[in-house]
Amino acid sequence: MDLKIFAVCKKYGEIEALKYVDLKVEQGEFFTLLGPSGCGKTTLLRVIAGLELADSGMVMLGGETITRKPANERPVNTVFQSYALFPHLTVLENISFGLISRKIPKAEAIAKAKEMLDLVQLVGFDDRKPNQMSGGQQQRVALARALANEPEVLLLDEPMSALDAKLRVQVQIELRQIQQRLEKTFIMVTHDQQEALTVSDRMAVMNVGEVAQIGTVRDVYDRPKSRFVADFLQTQNFIEAERMAEHRVKTIYGEWTVSDPVPWEKGMVTVRPENMSVTTDASDCTFKGKVETSLYRGCYQELFLDNGLQVETESVKPYAQGEEVMVNVPQNAVVVLND
Amino acid sequence: MTNKNKKNSAKDSLEESYTVFHGALIKKKALSRRAFSFVSPGFLWSLIFLVIPCLALFLVSFASRGDYGQIEWEFSTDTMKRLAGFGYFGWSADNMLIVWRSIVVAVVTTFICVVLSYPLAFFLASRPDKTRTIWLTLLLIPFWTNLVIRTYAWFLALAPNMPLAKLLAEVGAIEPGTPLYPSTFAVYIGMVSVFLPFVALPLYTAVEKMDWALVEAARDLYSGGWRVFRHAILPQTMPGLSVGITLTLVPAMGMFVIPDMLGGSRYMLIGNLIQQQFGTSRDWPFGAALSLVLMFLTLSALMVSRRHALKKGEA
């Protein structure tokens, strides 16, 4: 079932957590709400879960309005940030909790719970209590507990924030694989852009209660529309520009041809450091610059140039401070921002 | 060579005798001496005022009553027989009934307090910081008032011309013009009003610390009200609840002021019976034996809650 959100507003006292949010999530896609803390992404997730009531607007699931339906009547389940496992119940009891609540026969519920344990690779943990497990294992139990109910939409509230970096990457891959195997709709909230890009099909970047941009992860990452989105996705180089023609701008680094049409007279363009390259061919040279600082990052190195731009290049050849480099900026790498 | 060795070992033992205690370097011996000196006053206090009196009680309960109420140090099992109901006039269930009634009153009082405390605790915890102090103070004011005065206040509140009695008379539950005391109802009203803060306050602290994500998770997993309470609220508030139950159940079993004043002469609890033995009846051996019964009851209540807490701790 697809999930539609129309003009949802939510206020906490004076603070507007959500301002007329519109969203459509397709059946079977992995959708991520990405944004800094306080942008309203968790509030939106809680509105979908039924843990928070929208002040106005509508939430529709598969054509049915669920705006005012209580949480325990929605075919939606949540993986909580703190996991919220019942500490006095065993893993098996935790996972079968929702099924038992819905009066599904015990044998059937247990069988389903075991199947879920298999799915999250925790076979044999049936009788453990949550506090006898590691954070990563608890997270899997939380996932299994939500999925056991076969929800139409699975909601994940910062599911990996309590895991260490290495485990997080592994869990991201597993989460993606589980989602693709089950072909279920997953909606995740995160502030980690890397996580969002890794697992999702599409994402919405949110800023102070509004959706700033929505699209496939590639689209949003490669072609951010606003300065906020570009900044949040760390494009790094912001360059003031003037319009010369439909596809041509003038910057302090020279005149550039761009792929996007230019909508303004004076505005901003941006280029990712990794989309520029250091070249030895003078005909490829877009601009020259002197290296101010070079940072070795293992598989690549970052050059901070004296003209204020950042370039990423392969790490084989070290660059000395003050060395002059020629930089190539492909036409497609330049992104024209709307604001 | 031997000299040097000696020196070394002396130094080693010096190092061994020191330890770091919460950031302070202290000799191990001094630490244990300090621990002992801190513990001993409390230990002596409970030895003199608790253990010795208990032993005395135990001994007295096997003595017998002299003709003028004095204790005669002759071993006798008379008091024990009387506890079992064998009195001067053959067997009667009175004593047993009194003990049973005491247990029932304590358990029912505790139960009513728990039922009333849950909504109260949630109400208190959900107040904004400013007004919460006021509500807490309101709950505590009766707590600071003398028990006898508070119980007398119930005389007034339950008097025939007061709203409650009038209302009940209107409905036809009681004869017009009769007070609501002495009665079982009045005893429960008095008991619950005394013990409510003892349950409500620990429960409030537990509710305040509660992780609401568990409640939301239970809701999210299709739970109705009872299931949410059973699996998300009860386990989390258990520490506060067991403190409250212990603080109520144990003193409620020995309560004698309230049943005496609001229950009338026919409403005898074990507390009243003990008071009577040491007072008007001047039958110390029987009073001591009854006290032992009461102590046994309260201790077993404590044991049950303790065992429960330990089991929780293991889980």
B222/A101 touch (CB, cutoff 8 Å), yes or no: yes
For A71, the closest of B214, B219, B312 (CB atoms) is B219
| pLDDT mean over A47-51 | 94
| pLDDT mean over B12-34 | 80
Own/partner pairs for B242-246, CB < 8 Å, 24+ apart? B242/B305, B242/B308, B242/B309, B243/B202, B244/B113, B244/B114, B244/B117, B244/B198, B244/B199, B244/B200, B244/B201, B244/B202, B244/B203, B245/B110, B245/B114, B245/B199, B245/B305, B246/B301, B246/B302, B246/B305
Which residues does residue B27 pair with via DSSP β-bridges, in sequence order?
B18
How far does A74 lie from chain B, in Å, by closest CA? 8
Chain A residue with the nearest C-alpha to that of B211 = A84
B222/A49 touch (CB, cutoff 8 Å), yes or no: no
**Each residue's pLDDT tens digit, A243-284:** 999 999 999 988 898 988 999 999 999 999 999 989 888 888
Q: Where residue B13 falls among pLDDT bands split at 50, 70, 90? A: low
For A124, phi and psi rounded to 5 degrees? 95, -5
Mean pLDDT of chain A: 92
Taking alpha carbons only, the member of A100, A60, A92, A94 closest to residue A76 is A60
Mean pLDDT of chain B: 85
Predicted local confidence at residue A208, as pLDDT: 92
How far does B235 lie from chain A, in Å, by closest CA? 7
User: Does the pLDDT at position B49 exceed 70?
Assistant: yes
Predicted local confidence at residue A9, as pLDDT: 95
Q: Where residue B210 falls among pLDDT bands split at 50, 70, 90? A: very high
Q: Where residue B312 falls among pLDDT bands split at 50, 70, 90? A: low
User: Does the pLDDT at position B8 exceed 60?
Assistant: no
Which residues does chain B have within 8 Å of residue A129's beta carbon, measured at their own beta carbons?
315
Q: Where residue B155 falls among pLDDT bands split at 50, 70, 90? A: confident
Tally of residues, chain B: 315
Dist CA B157 CA B178 (whole Å): 13
Chain B interface includes A77 (CB < 8 A):
yes
Which residues does chain B have within 8 Å of residue A98's beta carbon, measured at their own beta carbons?
220-222
Dist CA A195 CA A170 (whole Å): 11
**Each residue's pLDDT tens digit, A210-251:** 999 999 999 999 999 999 999 999 888 999 999 999 999 999
Which of A52, A72, A74, A77 to mutate against chain B (most B CBs within 10 Å)?
Answer: A72
What's the one-letter identity of residue B255? Answer: M
Predicted local confidence at residue B1, as pLDDT: 45
Predicted local confidence at residue B276, as pLDDT: 86
For B198, phi and psi rounded to 5 degrees? -65, -30
Chain B residue with the nearest C-alpha to that of A70 = B219
Predicted local confidence at residue A56, as pLDDT: 94
Chain A interface includes B221 (CB < 8 A):
yes
| pLDDT mean over B88-101 | 80
Dist CA B244 CA B84 (whole Å): 32
Dist CA B216 CA B232 (whole Å): 9
A59-63, A100-104, A155-159, B282-286, range with the lowest pLDDT: B282-286
A80/B231 touch (CB, cutoff 8 Å), yes or no: no
Three-state DSSP state, A9:
strand
Q: Where residue B232 falls among pLDDT bands split at 50, 70, 90? A: very high
User: Does the pLDDT at position B11 exceed 60?
Assistant: no
Predicted local confidence at residue A272, as pLDDT: 93
Which residues does chain B have within 8 Å of residue A145's beta carbon, measured at their own beta carbons?
221
Which residues does chain B have within 8 Å of residue A77's beta carbon, measured at their own beta carbons?
220-221
Q: Where residue B16 falls among pLDDT bands split at 50, 70, 90? A: low
C-alpha to C-alpha distances, A326 to A283, A298, A318, A329, nearest whole angstrom = 10, 22, 15, 10
User: Does the pLDDT at position A324 exceed 50?
Assistant: yes
The answer to whether A152 touches A62, Cβ cutoff 8 Å, is yes
Residue listed under structure tokens 């954070």: A135
User: Does the pLDDT at position A73 exceed 80?
Assistant: yes
Chain B residue with the nearest C-alpha to that of A147 = B221
Chain A interface includes B216 (CB < 8 A):
yes
User: Does the pLDDT at position B4 exceed 60?
Assistant: no
Chain B interface includes A80 (CB < 8 A):
yes
| Higher pLDDT, residue B90 or A54 | A54
The answer to whether A10 touches A18, Cβ cutoff 8 Å, is yes
Which residues does chain B have within 8 Å of residue A72's beta carbon, measured at their own beta carbons?
219-224
Q: What is the pTM of this model?
A: 0.82
| pLDDT mean over A76-98 | 95
Q: Where residue B12 falls among pLDDT bands split at 50, 70, 90? A: low
C-alpha to C-alpha distances, A7 to A4, A30, A52, A76, nearest whole angstrom = 10, 22, 15, 20
**Residue B84 tokens, joined:** 């079992």
Chain A neighbours among B 156-215 (CB < 8 Å)?
211, 213-214
| pLDDT mean over A74-102 | 94
Which residues does chain B have within 8 Å of residue A76's beta carbon, measured at their own beta carbons?
220
User: Does the pLDDT at position A35 exceed 90?
Assistant: yes
A78/B216 touch (CB, cutoff 8 Å), yes or no: yes
How far does B219 lie from chain A, in Å, by closest CA? 5
Dist CA A220 CA A229 (whole Å): 8
How far does A133 lie from chain B, in Å, by closest CA? 13
| pLDDT mean over B105-133 | 94
Predicted local confidence at residue B3, as pLDDT: 52
The answer to whether B241 touches B206, Cβ cutoff 8 Å, is yes
Which of B209, B211, B215, B222 to mutate against chain A (most A CBs within 10 Å)?
Answer: B222
User: Does the pLDDT at position B97 exceed 50?
Assistant: yes
| Higher pLDDT, residue A149 or B69 | A149
How far does B230 lie from chain A, in Å, by closest CA? 11
Chain B interface includes A89 (CB < 8 A):
yes
Taking alpha carbons only, the member of B276, B280, B282 closest to residue B256 is B276
Dist CA A322 CA A324 (whole Å): 6
Predicted local confidence at residue B314, as pLDDT: 54
User: Does the pLDDT at position B34 exceed 90?
Assistant: no
Predicted local confidence at residue B237, as pLDDT: 93
| Higher pLDDT, residue A317 or A91 | A91
How far does B242 lie from chain A, in Å, by closest CA? 16
| Higher pLDDT, residue B111 or B161 | B111
User: Does the pLDDT at position B42 exceed 60?
Assistant: yes
Q: Where residue B315 falls among pLDDT bands split at 50, 70, 90? A: very low
A84/B315 touch (CB, cutoff 8 Å), yes or no: no
Dist CA A326 CA A277 (whole Å): 8
**Each residue's pLDDT tens digit, A124-147:** 999 999 999 999 999 999 999 999
Chain A interface includes B232 (CB < 8 A):
yes
Chain B residue with the nearest C-alpha to that of A146 = B221
